[in-house]
Amino acid sequence: MGHTELTPSAPTSSAKYELDAPHLPPPHLRIFVNRNLRMDTVAAIGFDMDYTLARYKREQLERLAHRLTVEKLVKRGYPEEILKLGYDPSFVIRGLMVDKQLGNILKIDRHSHVGRVFHGRRPLNKDERRQVYRRERIAFVPPRFALVDTLFSLPEMCLYADLVDFFATRGDAGQVDTWKIFDDVRESIDEAHRDDTLKSVVKQDLAKYVERDPLMARTLHKLRSSGKKLFLLTNSAFDYTDHLMRYLLDGELPEYAHWSSYFEWVVVTAKKPAFFKDQEPFALLDPKGVPTGKAVTALERGKVYEGGNLKDFERMTGMIGEQVLYVGDHIFGDILRSKKASLWRTALVVEELEDEIRYSIEHAEDLQRLADLEVERRNLDELTSLQRQHLATIEKRLGAEEARGSAEFEALRLRRDQAKRQLKSVIAAIEALETKVDASFNSTWGFVFKESGENSRFAEQVKDHACIYTSRVSNFLGYSTHQYFRAPRDLLPHERDIMSTEDL
């Protein structure tokens, strides 16, 4: 390939590769790899807009979305007292799940084990969680369960929890229809996006709500200059897309007179995920965003289209399957659905990754201590199990009464009791340190990508469906346009154990 300045993004612990480390971007700006991806075979790169090319100032936008949703709920007949409910950005993270039937918000790991649960703002204790979610196998799927897989959903989660509490305090908690509350909140926030209530406010003060990435234009230019065709594929309508993209790109580089010049094709109101599975035709828009009514037989550079579908896009552009890399922020609408419907390669933008990586570096000592304690717990578990087995063997050989009077048995029993006390102490230390680490990152839910030492369900979806993932589009600027993004070797537990054995 000829480019040795960058190694695959997943860091390695092998000392022989340390020489490459200074040439990597800072950890929070790297691209991470789940599946090998050769950029020299990618002919076209598509981008979503919201939370992908356009990064929002999240707290400002989330507070706005929360307020507008409350106002719409009041118009639906909800009591005006809910107008006093405030937005708490620290309460919600991406990757949570709502149990609409019971009014709970929960976080689960990759094995569908329920970790933390809140009913409204009240945390459920271990016994309550076990009673509700561990008595029978539960499929965490719609319609009962709703996944919080996009940043746009965070305000509705906070509002939902507060509404569950609000109505529970007004009367018999058993009369609260938590399913209806969720559906009403979801419909109201969707309406705020759909009817331009929210976007009209954003357009009036883009500087307040939209973050400008100074490296975005250079990143797109670098990709175009390497011969790759770029396209925009967004669910946003033309007017809003035009406002945001002009704010983000116009005037950034002299080579581009207008934001659309960065792209070979522009598709708005794409209706993803339907774009990837339905057959809606493309509609050509005039410069003001009005459909021309002309039949679309080819997608032309410099034109803007709305609607459309995957099959027609590939047929009209000639960009097919693995020639296309699509970059988006929505695990379902952008990544999972495109993965199921096509051979397109996928890149997921996860903003929260920057904070998690920075935090992990700052608290590396605590995280290493946790890892060491987990190894110690496993070793003590194995030791006490062997000791218990050995004691049983002695009892079987000598008989229970005679065994308990033997020096061998008593010595082993004392060692077992000591190991059990040590194990109990280690478990307590793990729980205390986990609480400390999680609370200092997010006091309610901990890490986005982890749940009690396991990958969270969201992290597992990222691993399963995104070929690569990163925190922002401009991170591509730190890599060659012919980069070979190579995934780390996928190891099973027994392989990891063998490779970590010191005498090998």
Peptide bond into 254 cis (omega under 30): no
Contact (Cβ atoms closer than 8 angstroms) between residue 230 and residue 263: yes
DSSP assignment of 336-364 equals IHHHHH---EEEEE-THHHHHHHHHHHTH
CA distances from 196 to 186, 267, 289 (A): 16, 19, 15
Where do the DSSP E strands lie in 40-133? 44-47, 55-56, 97-99, 104-108, 114-119, 122-123
Among 51, 42, 48, 52, residue whose Cα is nearest residue 343: 42
Selecting among 20, 40, 48, 99, the annotated active-site residue is 48
Residue 50 bears catalytic tag: yes
Pairing of strands 345-349, 324-328: parallel
The H-or-E segment that residue 427 falls in is helix 407-441
Q: Where do the H-state alpha helices sit in 14-104?
A: 58-75
Selecting among 20, 50, 109, 312, the annotated active-site residue is 50
Tell me 456's DSSP state.
B
DSSP assignment of 370-388 equals HHHHHHHHHHHHHHHHHHH
CA–CA dist 345, 351 (Å, integer): 20
Q: Which residues are catalytic?
A: 48, 50
